[in-house]
Amino acid sequence: MGALSLRLPDDLERKLSQEASLSGQPRSQLIREALEALLLHRERERAEAALVGAATALATNDEAREETLAIAADFLHADNEALALGEPGVGLNVGNSPVSLWWR
């Protein structure tokens, strides 16, 4: 495990020491957890930004948009059929009334 030395402002060092005391955890563990959370947060932000960029590029490209809509239309029937097959009671009556399915 690598070692790191850093300087903290007095107020931050005081808060860190107070949290370590309250939680019963070593300061170094708290710092590791905080750093892991920060890096994960930033990684997710970058991934989200990349997805937004890709979606924006596709949405503003007329050819890609038309292709996406055509693919969605091709799969619509299969999606509806899969929903019908996966729903218990399709084609059956419950009591004296037919089953009502929300997507139909």
Amino acid type, 45 = E
Q: Is 42 part of a structural domain of the chain?
A: yes
Q: Which domain holds residue 29?
A: 11-89
**73 belongs to a structural domain:** yes
| Number of other residues whose CB lies within 10 A of the CB of residue 19 | 13
Number of domain units in the chain: 1
Residue 2 domain flag = no
53, part of any domain: yes
pLDDT tens series, the chain, 104 aa: 889 899 999 999 999 999 999 999 999 999 999 999 999 999 999 999 999 999 998 889 999 888 988 998 888 878 877 777 776 655 444 455 555 555 55
In a domain, 96, yes or no: no
In a domain, 102, yes or no: no
pTM of the model: 0.58
Q: Give the H or E element holding residue 97.
A: strand 97-98
97 occurs within a structural domain: no
Domain annotation covers residue 4: no
